[in-house]
Amino acid sequence: MHQVSTQQPNYLSQSRTSIQVQELVLSIEHTDEPAFHITFDDSSREQIKPTCLSALLMNAQQLIELCSHCEQYDYSEHLKVFGRACQDINLALGPAGPVCLDSSGSRYLSFYQSMNVLVDHIRQLTRSIGYQRKASDRLYQARQKAIALEGYVRAVLKRYSRTVVVRVDLHYLDSADPLLRIEHLCTDLKALIRAREHNPIFEHETGYIWSVEQGKDRGFHIHAAFFFNGAHVRSDWHKADQIGKLWEKISAGRGYCYNCNADKGKYATLGIGTINRSDGQVCNIVIKAMCYLAKQGQHLHIKPKGARTFGTGQLT
């Protein structure tokens, strides 16, 4: 038995914090462990032994802060459950971390005891039907999105005899990550989409697709594809490079671009480069590759109210 330090870990970015909430809720859902094992010595002092959940709760205050803006953000089911549990037990900030009242409402529990109460309540909430159906709802939405995306890409490829397909992955530098918020990405994305209306880079564009995702290692990022009339655009690598440099400018130097077309020789099924309309097999490869953008594996855990996470151009 030993006392666990309550010293707060380093500040986490908004993306990493939301992913930690997800990991915590999933861990709680799949274990019967408390947050901490608590015993008392002869002097009635707490003796604390950590569990598999303990490390995920040592920056509890930051997790709570992230999930306390329900009027501003749409949350994933994991963040919703965490935020509701915090509200239900009326967590308050104490000298050693967040604490709540005991069942009688007469005294505050210790940080460790309060985290055990929080974990118990989260576990109860994860058993609700509404929580448990969210994963299947997301899978259904991803399938519907893939169906719509297939129709869109097929129509774009049929428009001209040759279409140049460009794929870029738009990220943010590690140095920008600690202060990066999802609002920043949404603002930069809107600027990129608006730039299509006047920037000469997008002359002869025939369509586009974008998807906002969130990964444990790469944080918030965008996968995007742009289609151009192959009669006027020849170098797919150059076009992708131009879009990447525009992204760096829009993101004020915080962002960088991975040019998929620069490495297209490494991938047999990437579905990029110059595509001939008459080559049905290759067109199907493009469609399959673009439907990858509809996957649901790296969905956002937090987004501004009403914000979209996926979009395409309009067929004309």
Strands (E), 139-291: 162-172, 205-215, 219-229, 255-259, 273-276
Q: Does residue 9 carry a pLDDT above 60? A: no
Q: What is the pLDDT of residues 261-313, one digit of tens each?
A: 988 766 556 789 999 999 999 999 999 989 887 775 668 999 999 999 999 99
- Asked if residue 73 and residue 221 are part of one domain, the reply reads no
- Asked if residue 142 and residue 114 are part of one domain, the reply reads no
CA distances from 240 to 30, 289, 294 (A): 43, 17, 21
What's the CATH number where 303 sits?
A: 3.30.70.1430
- Asked if residue 145 and residue 126 are part of one domain, the reply reads no
- Asked if residue 290 and residue 169 are part of one domain, the reply reads yes
Model pLDDT, residue 108: 94
Q: Does residue 7 carry a pLDDT above 50? A: no
Which of 97, 131, 165 terminates a domain? The answer is 131
- Asked if residue 186 and residue 287 are part of one domain, the reply reads yes
Average of pLDDT values for 2-7?
48
Model pLDDT, residue 1: 42
Q: How far apart are alpha carbons 288 and 146 in whole angstroms? A: 9
Shortest CA distance to 212 belongs to which of 127, 85, 302, 115?
302
- Which DSSP string do the residues of 202-238 spell out, in sequence order? GTTEEEEEEEEEEETTTEEEEEEEEEEETTT---HHH
Shortest CA distance to 189 belongs to which of 286, 40, 307, 73?
307
Mean pLDDT over the full length of the chain: 91
* Amino acid type, 17: T
Q: What is the pLDDT of residues 47-104, one digit of tens each?
A: 999 999 999 998 999 999 999 988 899 999 999 999 999 999 999 988 889 999 999 9
Q: Is residue 306 part of a domain?
A: yes
Dihedral of CA atoms 48, 50, 51, 55 in degrees, nearest 10, equals 130
- Asked if residue 153 and residue 119 are part of one domain, the reply reads no
- Which DSSP string do the residues of 116-173 spell out, in sequence order? HHHHHHHHHHTTSHHHHTHHHHHHHHHHHHHHHHHHHHHHHHHHSSEEEEEEEEEEE-
Q: Is residue 7 part of a domain?
A: no
- Asked if residue 143 and residue 104 are part of one domain, the reply reads no
Model pLDDT, residue 19: 96
- Asked if residue 171 and residue 28 are part of one domain, the reply reads no
Q: Report how many domains make up the chain.
A: 2
2: pLDDT confidence band, cut at 50, 70 and 90? very low
- Half-sphere exposure (Cβ direction) of 221: Cα atoms closer than 13 Å: 22
Q: Which DSSP category does 128 fall into? A: S
Q: Are strands 219-229 and 205-215 parallel, antiparallel or unpaired?
A: antiparallel
Which of 96, 131, 166 terminates a domain? The answer is 131
Contacts of 124 (CB under 8 A, 6+ apart): none
- Asked if residue 153 and residue 274 are part of one domain, the reply reads yes
Q: Is residue 9 part of a domain?
A: no
Which of 131, 164, 189 terminates a domain? The answer is 131
* Burial of 139 from C-beta contacts in 10 A (0-12 / 13-18 / 19+): exposed
- Asked if residue 226 and residue 97 are part of one domain, the reply reads no
- Asked if residue 147 and residue 217 are part of one domain, the reply reads yes
Q: Is residue 3 part of a domain?
A: no
Higher pLDDT, 50 or 41: 50
| 25 within 8 A of 301, measured Cβ to Cβ | no
* Amino acid type, 287: I
**Which residue segment(s) compose the domain that 193 sits in?**
138-312
- Asked if residue 127 and residue 152 are part of one domain, the reply reads no
